[in-house]
Structure 1
Amino acid sequence: MALLEVNNLEVCFGLRKGEVKALRNIDFKIERGERIGIVGESGAGKSVLGFSIINLISQPGYVSQGEVMFEGQNLAKMNHQQLRSIRGNRISMIFQDPMMTLNPVLTIGDQMVECLMEHRTISKQDARNIAVQKLQQVYIPSPETRLDQYPHELSGGMRQRVVIAIGLLMDPDIIIADEPTTALDVTIQAEIMELMLELCERNNVALILITHDLGVVSQVTQRTFVMYAGRIIEQGPTKEIINDAQHPYTQGLINALPQMGVRGKRLHQIRGAMPSLQSVPVGCAFRERCDYAIENCSHNVPDFTESGGCKVACHMVAELKREEQAVKLEIKGGAQ
């Protein structure tokens, strides 16, 4: 049994103009110690998916369909009290802005000790000792001194390390990291991601990394899910997706990376913009931005097709696979 299994998950937001589906037909599994990446443009539904896993969707949002199974328990059906034993304990979440996680009027030590004593029956001194150990794990110098400091006294990179240490406090089985390096400079970004990779490998912790940066995904994750307009449109081993992307949208994301550009020329960009979730077009949501759209794209939502070691939701790819199969059968028939 997988550590976490998401089945046919749908999330809706009730607005005055009617319901809006933010997530549609999300299916995936993650094993213990596995690292997956969820990528896509802003508005694709990445963060909503992260919040949905631990049932943190606020009204007017709600899980309208599907299940999130964690070791046989459906998190989507749990009440607030039941979820308190899971959130921050078995499943931790790291947010993109550390100041949204850290309380500015409490010291780092107070916040870490409070978290430990909420979930474990230990003394305050034992909790403080564990907090020091976790700060040491994330390579924060003079951890005993840092415990008595307030968040504003630390640099951005140091605050993010503290947030990661808090995420590791309860020795979780899964860490959900939502754009954990967005507010940091490039050098600190690399350090933080190397740190997270090291900690996950050392402690056999599963990681769900939510990001728009394919470069980060390629360095840290083993499998990748590409999202567009609330759906997963391509999934597979990260190396396969980076080296041989099958979906036109994923190809566009990779071609838009600065290192893929030609010196002196404009960077590649995908034309147009992602549709509003209130007006997702019929058929393939990406068709109006796609250079390879065919007639079927205007009428039907594409199913997954296996191609190049990945699963791709694209009518064009499915058509090419059918043509390839037909040619193989023709050659085989001729040989006989």
Structure 2
Amino acid sequence: MALLEVNNLDVRFALRGGDVRALRDVCFSLDRGERLGIVGESGAGKSVAAFSLLNLIAKPGYIAGGSITFDGEELSGMKDRGLRRIRGNRISMIFQDPMMTLNPVLSIGEQMVECLKAHRRISTREARAISLHKLNQVQIPSPETRLDQYPHELSGGMRQRVIIAIALLLDPDIIVADEPTTALDVTIQAEIMDLLLELCEKHNVGLVLITHDLGVVSQVTQRMLVMYAGRVIEQGPTREIINDPQHPYTQGLINALPQMATPGSRLNQIPGSMPSLSNLPSGCAFHPRCGFVNDANGEPRKACLDKVPGFVDSGNCRVACHMVAELVNQQQRDSREEIL
């Protein structure tokens, strides 16, 4: 049994014009020590999926259906008192902006001690000793000095290291990192991701990494989900998806990487933009932007326009695409004919 299992997760936002489904039928699992990446454009539902794990969705958002099971416990319907045992203790979260996460009027040490004493019955001296050890783990220079400094006195990279140290304070089983390097420059991004990967491997901590950076995902994670308009449209081993993407949207994301363009030419891009969740296209939500919506005769595939695609197995990956389903079915028919 996986440490974390998410099945048919449905998240909605209650608006005046009716409920808007931000996530629909999202399924994935995470084993102890495993690293999972969730990628997609802005508005795909990545952060909503991350926040849903600990029911941190602000109203008018709510979990409308599905289950989130952590170590045998159901989290989706758990009361706040029960969730407090899990949040920060067994599942920690790293948010996008460290300056918004840290309290500007409390020193780093005060915030770390407060976090520890909220979950454990220990003295302030013991809590400071643990905090100092964690700051050492994330390679912050002069950690004794940093404990008594305030967030504004640290650089962006330092603040993000402090956030990682706080996430590790209570030795969690899972860290959920929501675009943890967004506000940092490229060299600091690489340092932070290397540090996070090293700590997860050393302490056997599961990682759910939310990002739009396929380069980071390819280097850090073992499995990945690709999301579009609130649905998972491809999932499988990271290396297999990066090297041989099956869904046209995944292919578009990889082709849009700078290194995929000819030097001196315009970068590749996916035409159009993410649809509004309150006005999704019929059938496959990606079909208005898809270069493969037409069949060999140049006619639009009726299924793409009318029917939401289900998952089909392609190699070790699962893909929600009518075109891939056609190809897989054809391959299966060819194989049966060869056997006969």
Q: Does the 8 Å contact 1:246/1:308 carry over to 2?
A: no
Residue 313 of structure 1 is matched in structure 2 by 320
Q: Does the 8 Å contact 1:14/1:20 carry over to 2?
A: yes
The 5 A counterparts of 1:156-167 are 156-167=156-167
Q: TM-score, normalised by structure 2?
A: 0.97
| Identical residues among aligned pairs (%) | 69
Distance in 2 between the 1:167 and 1:189 partners? 18
Deviations 1:73-122 (A, max 9, x none): 11111111111111000000000100121000000000000000110010
Give 1:301's aligned amino acid.
Answer: V
Match of 1:76, SS? Answer: coil
Residue 268 (1) aligns with residue 275 (2): no
Once superposed, what is the RMSD of the aligned Cα atoms?
0.7
Residue 99 of structure 1 is matched in structure 2 by 99
Q: TM-score, normalised by structure 1?
A: 0.98
Deviations 1:136-195 (A, max 9, x none): 000000101000000000000000000000000000000000000000000000000000
Residue 297 (1) aligns with residue 279 (2): no
Distance in 2 between the 1:49 and 1:303 partners? 20
Distance in 2 between the 1:116 and 1:324 partners? 56
Give 1:194's aligned amino acid.
Answer: D
Give 1:311's aligned amino acid.
Answer: R
Match of 1:172, SS? Answer: coil
- 4+ runs of 1 displaced by more than 6 Å? none
Distance in 1 between the 2:243 and 2:39 partners? 16
Distance in 1 between the 2:310 and 2:140 partners? 47
The 5 A counterparts of 1:81-230 are 81-230=81-230
Give 2:163's aligned amino acid.
Answer: V
Residue 32 of structure 1 is matched in structure 2 by 32
Residue 277 of structure 1 is matched in structure 2 by 277
Q: CA deviation at 1:332?
A: 2.8
Distance in 2 between the 1:303 and 1:122 partners? 51
Deviations 1:8-50 (A, max 9, x none): 1100000011100000001111000000000000000000000
The 5 A counterparts of 1:33-48 are 33-48=33-48
The 5 A counterparts of 1:317-332 are 317-332=324-339
Deviations 1:221-273 (A, max 9, x none): 00000000000000000000000000000000000001111101000000001
Structure 1 residue runs of 5 or longer lacking an equivalent are none
Distance in 1 between the 2:314 and 2:143 partners? 49
Residue 74 of structure 1 is matched in structure 2 by 74
Q: Does the 8 Å contact 1:244/1:308 carry over to 2?
A: no
Give 1:320's aligned amino acid.
Answer: L
Distance in 1 between the 2:267 and 2:156 partners? 30
Residue 239 (1) aligns with residue 239 (2): yes
Match of 2:336, SS? Answer: helix
Q: CA deviation at 1:328?
A: 2.2
Residue 21 of structure 1 is matched in structure 2 by 21
Distance in 1 between the 2:332 and 2:207 partners? 37
Give 2:109's aligned amino acid.
Answer: G
Match of 1:77, SS? Answer: coil
Distance in 2 between the 1:331 and 1:2 partners? 38
Structure 2 residue runs of 5 or longer lacking an equivalent are 294-300
Distance in 1 between the 2:171 and 2:165 partners? 10
Distance in 2 between the 1:118 and 1:308 partners? 46
Distance in 2 between the 1:283 and 1:59 partners? 29
The 5 A counterparts of 1:55-74 are 55-74=55-74
Distance in 1 between the 2:175 and 2:155 partners? 23
Q: CA deviation at 1:296?
A: 0.7
Distance in 2 between the 1:247 and 1:59 partners? 33
